[in-house]
Structure 1
């Protein structure tokens, strides 16, 4: 069926589903003359002024992404949202046959499908039998799972001037196919969104901008607040730099009028651990075509507006911290060794940048990790008067199976379809990190209700945290006058908001009767888990402080504030646990090293007791079946300690 005809039918379906931003036309989808509604729905029955915690996944690829389809994944956006709500999907085995059943242990509260905007149209053309490009060697290779196709398209995204595939786009209208796939993406999000009073599930219209210049990762997930979105996504082909992406989102959504009244959007950078320092280098474009003639101050404000949070963890590793990088003073942090794709010695970028991080190459920078980025923000604030890196923290999976929230270590099925279709492939493969990949994490938000507006606004104000998978409930408040015994108070949360700020906020000005140093209240409850798979105890809570001294030196210090390493352990040969930690931990902590003249930030890290890593479970299963064990079973960690990272709270001298 020609794309124009399909597009008309899709637009009619969108209107029937209640998306007021599109109507059927001879040219596909176009906006009506009257502005569409924004968030038309019943009031949520779970509305809570003191905010509830909701768990979600905002980094999800389906069969619409070229690298997922190339690995035999056929779960589309509709199927991905069904999985997030508790339904079963079929994943391919090592032979590419969809026979592996996957079901989430607990439905998520919210999710976003974030297929690559790049090649979204090309994939749609390649799988359409009526497309003139269908029988090209490139399209046939994509459908057959030829890894050379994924490599070719991935490498083309690393070019200085990336372009759409001429092999396909010279034969078909790639823009039309892009609009078609984007319309289906919107339809899937709308179908999944619960607009009733029960507010059981929230979906977001979203996509991934996949910039990868010189094979350094620059990717962002673009999340829209409502169903009011541009007609097509802004991709790396039209906007080849992050600055151009932000300008496009600002002008094409936030500042747009007419049918896009009410459009709002944010971008979430991810996998900074693969960026060779490029994603957060403090450089500003001098080209007026990119900068728009704005000053560095105006550009810093633009970045801060569009990127309020960053992904600190996902299946391609941890981006919190890295021992041994230059430019940060402080003692080594043993917990920074958690889930690192880069192992052993590495070249340090220093104050420069490198390339080829996406293939685990090039130098490693302090700006590849949240602590270095947050510290750079303090330096930029001192220089410009605005902090372009005032970033909250979150986590997600980056699944390429269409399985949002598939984070259970004991049920890990991989992330790349047939490339990880059995235990041996997961333990020996190289897509992208093989046995060093993880199931990924979840984003948690504190919001008044489970609706698009409430969750988006929580992300905008950075009242978010990330976990490596468990659904532990974590609060962090900062102020000056919290009582030392506040943990015993039933009104801890009320006091937290009334007398200070939550995670993601700025410490209020100090009153005359306040203490000499700020106090932080942190409260954490273990993940209860399920009847079949109970959650694990908490071991300890830490507060990590970062500051820049009067000479411009960057510092980090880790403080133990609740709990401690105890007798809890795990037997890797059986994955049986022994000993115990705590079901909950709480502390009111005052900074003993506070200097009123130094800008600083503080975030909490909550750590579980040790448990078996997924790779250990796969190795044990192979051993029980009498199979030869791959070398990964001797090399990689047996045990992990799952954790959560809160968004920081910032202090700025008066």
Structure 2
């Protein structure tokens, strides 16, 4: 059932009331940001944006861009941030550049200093990265004496910028496993303070590139220090099908123990970021007309051979959620019962995820003139996406409260815009609930929020989903709300279907033949108008095909009306003739809620 959208002023007052009355508030952040302490960031034009600068930018302060040296500033600050520099040789590029005395006793350190002087910083980076890819690390560059001072600087920057109730600075890093060019990275962060974080050094892929070993280290470190951790699988579209594989790192079928361990440490997954979107793929979801969104077909091979027959099911979140149901049916545990988030993976140290304020993946592609430069194997700045963000429903803006929201999966992803999205599931919602001002309070009282579980449906009852979406106050109107359902049939085979559950402009639902919302983008200026779409959509939807004996999941996908892609804005700025525009001109930004699962 779709309710008429409210006027803009009413939307603002309703949202303000909810934030005050509901048990949780909405906070915006980025859990995947690199600074100059990451070797690839340093080599690609970011020698100056350190963790301290990254936090200043995230908090809304003006800073200097590391490459083009312009003053840059966020119009709307973030609420929380994870600086997630690569653990492998963290900060080493600075040490080599500065001919640090810390490298005096290191044979490889002196060799890299000579390489810097005789060739280039990039040559140094490729030497370092090659040692990781070849699995032949340099032990003399991985000593505590070299690593600890850099890690302490990262910790101190987070401690200096953490302001409970106002801004949360998490302590974290990225474990950068890349076997044969398959990206299996995880971003890891903790809710604990610097005193605790200084009791260990970040686990890196030179110690092991297998996630099972990472989880073992997390368990051991947790027991030793009292820390807790969240490990977030990197945007999975470039994993060569391995991120959500149906076997473990040794090729053995996934067991119940594997599934429980993975979910202990990896409650959420990153599904959208600068290197494209990982919700689904047109080949996996051929009946979904919105499946081909920011599809990114490049793999960071570093000279390794790309797998010829990639299992795309292991690359994308929706098929992983379906695979999880299948594995749970056979083992009793689901290894892919994850919530969904977005983040940038920016290597500029600047968390900017909006199309008109996108500063590129690296420093070098931050200006339109450099968009043709190769920033990854066979990829340029034009291929990159201005994305994404993570939204968390939490009681307050503190490490403890936000961390708990990640653990219970009450978080969601957007591709950049700050759309407010609520999803509740239950068996007791009624149409009258939609007329109430305290929509979220009713949702918590009668059901479970995104990330939650429904079990054992009452006889003759189907789950009902209360969905509420409000546009970004500074952005585009909404096109529609959809519910994506995945389920398991009697033979143990998974299926999916996308339902249009709320449409703007009083359109009628006709499945994939539903009238498009339209397009107001002016390709001469890149501007759009909110003369189409609705500022708010709210609905109560009941699954019309529910079978109480079948495992299932449901998540909301919210689409905006079309807006200009950053490539259009840059092409216009460069004065490129229209016939030379090789990238899509407009996109429909979106949000993905974390799922709600039904188990018989």
Partner of 2:568: 616
Paired with 1:67 and 1:425, the residues of 2 have a C-alpha distance of 17
Q: Is 1:243 the equivalent of 2:243? A: no
- 1:386-433 per-position Cα deviation (integer Å, ceiling 9, x unaligned): 1111100000000100012x012112221211x214212124534363
Q: Report deviation, 1:572.
A: 1.9
- Kept in 1, the 8 Å contact 2:568–2:585? The answer is yes
Give the 3 Å change call, closer, same or farther, for CA 209–286 of structure 1 in structure 2: closer
Q: Is 1:89 the equivalent of 2:63? A: yes
- 1:23-45 per-position Cα deviation (integer Å, ceiling 9, x unaligned): xxxxxxxxxxxxxxxxxxxxxxx
Paired with 1:152 and 1:135, the residues of 2 have a C-alpha distance of 11
Partner of 2:53: 79
Partner of 1:415: 361
Alignment counterpart, residue 569 of structure 1, candidates 511, 514, 520: 520
- Kept in 2, the 8 Å contact 1:274–1:358? The answer is no
Q: Is 1:217 the equivalent of 2:183? A: yes
Q: Report deviation, 1:225.
A: 1.3
Q: Is 1:191 the equivalent of 2:160? A: yes
Give the 3 Å change call, closer, same or farther, for CA 153–362 of structure 1 in structure 2: farther
Alignment counterpart, residue 452 of structure 1, candidates 379, 385, 399: 399
Give the 3 Å change call, closer, same or farther, for CA 207–615 of structure 1 in structure 2: same
TM-score, with normalisation over the residues of structure 2? 0.87
Paired with 1:317 and 1:189, the residues of 2 have a C-alpha distance of 28
Q: Is 1:429 the equivalent of 2:384? A: no
Q: How does 1:344-363 map to 2 (within 5 A)?
A: 362-363=308-309
- Kept in 1, the 8 Å contact 2:244–2:313? The answer is no
Give the 3 Å change call, closer, same or farther, for CA 80–121 of structure 1 in structure 2: closer
- Kept in 2, the 8 Å contact 1:414–1:421? The answer is yes
Q: Is 1:277 the equivalent of 2:246? A: no
Q: Is 1:123 the equivalent of 2:123? A: no
Partner of 2:463: 518
Secondary structure in 2 matching 1:397: coil
- 1:218-237 per-position Cα deviation (integer Å, ceiling 9, x unaligned): 00000111112342011111
Q: How does 1:270-419 map to 2 (within 5 A)?
A: 270-284=234-248, 296-325=255-284, 331-342=286-297, 362-364=308-310, 365-404=312-351, 406-417=352-363, 419=364
Give the 3 Å change call, closer, same or farther, for CA 357–609 of structure 1 in structure 2: farther
- 1:237-257 per-position Cα deviation (integer Å, ceiling 9, x unaligned): 11321100011011112x22x
Paired with 2:304 and 2:292, the residues of 1 have a C-alpha distance of 19
Secondary structure in 1 matching 2:148: helix
- Kept in 1, the 8 Å contact 2:187–2:232? The answer is yes
- Kept in 2, the 8 Å contact 1:122–1:165? The answer is no
- 1:87-141 per-position Cα deviation (integer Å, ceiling 9, x unaligned): 1222244xxxx52222112110000100000111533532443232698453465
Paired with 2:202 and 2:419, the residues of 1 have a C-alpha distance of 34
Paired with 1:92 and 1:267, the residues of 2 have a C-alpha distance of 28
Partner of 2:125: 150
- Kept in 2, the 8 Å contact 1:501–1:508? The answer is no
Secondary structure in 1 matching 2:334: coil
Paired with 1:139 and 1:544, the residues of 2 have a C-alpha distance of 53
Range with bigger deviation, 215-224 or 83-92 = 83-92
Give the 3 Å change call, closer, same or farther, for CA 137–621 of structure 1 in structure 2: farther
Paired with 2:70 and 2:280, the residues of 1 have a C-alpha distance of 35
Paired with 2:357 and 2:254, the residues of 1 have a C-alpha distance of 50
Secondary structure in 2 matching 1:186: helix
Q: Report deviation, 1:360.
A: 7.3
Paired with 1:386 and 1:122, the residues of 2 have a C-alpha distance of 41
Give the 3 Å change call, closer, same or farther, for CA 321–521 of structure 1 in structure 2: same
Paired with 1:356 and 1:127, the residues of 2 have a C-alpha distance of 23
Gaps of 5+ in 2: 1-18, 505-515
Partner of 1:558: 498
Gaps of 5+ in 1: 1-45, 347-353, 530-534
Q: How does 1:102-141 map to 2 (within 5 A)?
A: 102-120=72-90, 122-123=92-93, 125-129=95-99, 130=101, 131-132=103-104, 136=110, 138-139=112-113
Paired with 1:248 and 1:474, the residues of 2 have a C-alpha distance of 35
TM-score, with normalisation over the residues of structure 1? 0.80
Give the 3 Å change call, closer, same or farther, for CA 600–245 of structure 1 in structure 2: same
- 1:303-338 per-position Cα deviation (integer Å, ceiling 9, x unaligned): 11000000000000000000114xxxx652121111
* CA RMSD, Structure 1 to Structure 2 (Å): 2.7
- 1:255-298 per-position Cα deviation (integer Å, ceiling 9, x unaligned): 22xxx13x1101000121001111221223669xxx9xx99322
Give the 3 Å change call, closer, same or farther, for CA 416–217 of structure 1 in structure 2: same
Partner of 1:532: none
Partner of 2:547: 595
Secondary structure in 2 matching 1:542: strand
- Kept in 2, the 8 Å contact 1:88–1:102? The answer is yes
What is the total number of aligned residue pairs between the two structures?
Answer: 558
Partner of 1:41: none
Range with bigger deviation, 106-115 or 477-486 = 477-486
Q: How does 1:440-479 map to 2 (within 5 A)?
A: 440-479=387-426
Give the 3 Å change call, closer, same or farther, for CA 184–550 of structure 1 in structure 2: same
Partner of 2:482: 542
Partner of 1:28: none
Paired with 1:408 and 1:83, the residues of 2 have a C-alpha distance of 15
- 1:431-478 per-position Cα deviation (integer Å, ceiling 9, x unaligned): 363211012210000000000000000000000000000111100000
Partner of 2:143: 174
Secondary structure in 2 matching 1:399: coil
Q: Is 1:54 the equivalent of 2:21? A: no
